[in-house]
Amino acid sequence: MIGRMGELDLLSHVFKHNAALPGRVIIPPGDDMAMLRLGDRDLLITVDQVADGVHVNCADTPLELVGRKAITRNLSDVAAMAALPVGAVVAAALPRDLGDANATRLFDAMRATAERYDCPLVGGDTMIWDGPLTLTVTVFAEPRGVTPVTRSGAKPGDVVCVTGRLGGAWRDGGADAPHLTFEPRIALARDLAQRLTLHSMIDLSDGLATDLRHVCERSHVDAEIDIATMPTRRGGDTDDTDSHGLTAEQRHALCDGEDYELCFTLDARDAASLPAKIDGVPITRIGRIVARAPGHDVACLRLVRPDGASNAFDASGWEHA
Ligand SMILES: [Mg+2]
């Protein structure tokens, strides 16, 4: 257990060494996937875990959905690069009392989900232990004619957009809660990246506020969000607003995490030709990228109210323990 220091400090420790990586590392640590050049081909790689008690609660979740999420969580990272998956491997730490039949259900679900996205399970490892169920999935992907979209290309003047609706992915519903049943936006990302020049993209796993800040950090810019434009999962509400001018639904949309939608930026001219929906999924303009304030090392996210007043938003989104 590395505590809350975890993801941010540990990752920045890793990033410090990026400059020393060999030339075949085309996209270094710090993005949704890394990319290696192998001869004249590029291979993208991501790894993610689903642990009982952290990313799922096995006590009230069918194993089929646990297995599904272990795969789709990774495929959301593939979508974030506008790449196509090519295969996956899984390392499973199974609780001693899981039993053969349940282990089979779990693996059948992972295999079926992976195959549905043309991402066959091609290997893995299992062990039995006294800890919680933990599935560690590595997915490989390829650009297949689309330049991967990273977190580092956002430019001042870019429009910030999101797919789908945000917030409450754990709150609404038990076995069909959005964090279990979401569709990785692979086809949508490919469609967007083929018709427009996307400057940056990330999938929304940690919450819009945190994930957009990741884009800003990697791109050395700041961002503004027009809070009234955020596509909240439950739509408009009439709650009182907090000190940031946020309704409860807007705060959920900013901070909850596990939406597994996409946030991307592109220049205003390209944004003008964005459709309102792609395959039924809403595409919403929620703000803009602005130049980093002089003298500031850390990215700033500003929330802009309908009356034009704005303030910096420091509350972080979801960070997994
Ligand atoms: Mg991601």
Distance CA 81, CA 150 (A): 6
Give the mean pLDDT of 232-256: 84
Looking up residue 78, the CATH number of its domain turns out to be 3.30.1330.10
**Residue 138 sits in the same domain as residue 165:** no
Q: Is residue 216 part of a domain?
A: yes
Helix (H), strand (E) at residue 264: strand 262-266
Q: Is residue 147 part of a domain?
A: no
**Residue 93 sits in the same domain as residue 169:** no
Q: Which backbone phi and psi does 109 adopt, to 5 degrees?
A: -65, -40
In angstroms, what is the span from residue 205 Cα to ligand 1's centroid? 6
In angstroms, what is the span from residue 99 Cα to ligand 1's centroid? 32
In angstroms, what is the span from residue 320 Cα to ligand 1's centroid? 13
State the pTM of this model. 0.93
**Residue 167 sits in the same domain as residue 302:** yes
In angstroms, what is the span from residue 297 Cα to ligand 1's centroid? 23
Host domain of residue 290: 159-312
In angstroms, what is the span from residue 97 Cα to ligand 1's centroid? 32
Q: What is the pLDDT of residue 1?
A: 42
Question: In the predicted model, is pLDDT for residue 281 greater than 50?
Answer: yes
**Residue 165 sits in the same domain as residue 138:** no
Distance CA 71, CA 288 (A): 32
In angstroms, what is the span from residue 215 Cα to ligand 1's centroid? 11
- Per residue in 13-47, pLDDT tens? 888 888 889 999 999 999 999 999 999 999 999 99
Average pLDDT, the chain: 92
**Residue 124 sits in the same domain as residue 168:** no
Q: What is the pLDDT of residue 226?
A: 97
**Residue 172 sits in the same domain as residue 307:** yes
Cβ count near 279 (within 10 Å): 10
In angstroms, what is the span from residue 204 Cα to ligand 1's centroid? 7
Residue 268, strand partner residues: none
- Grouping H, G, I as helix, E, B as strand and the rest as coil, residue 141 is strand
In angstroms, what is the span from residue 158 Cα to ligand 1's centroid? 21
In angstroms, what is the span from residue 207 Cα to ligand 1's centroid? 11
Overall number of domains in the chain: 2
Closest among 66, 144, 78, 89 to 117, alpha carbons compared: 78
Helix (H), strand (E) at residue 25: strand 25-27
**Residue 136 sits in the same domain as residue 205:** no
In angstroms, what is the span from residue 77 Cα to ligand 1's centroid? 4
**Residue 206 sits in the same domain as residue 80:** no
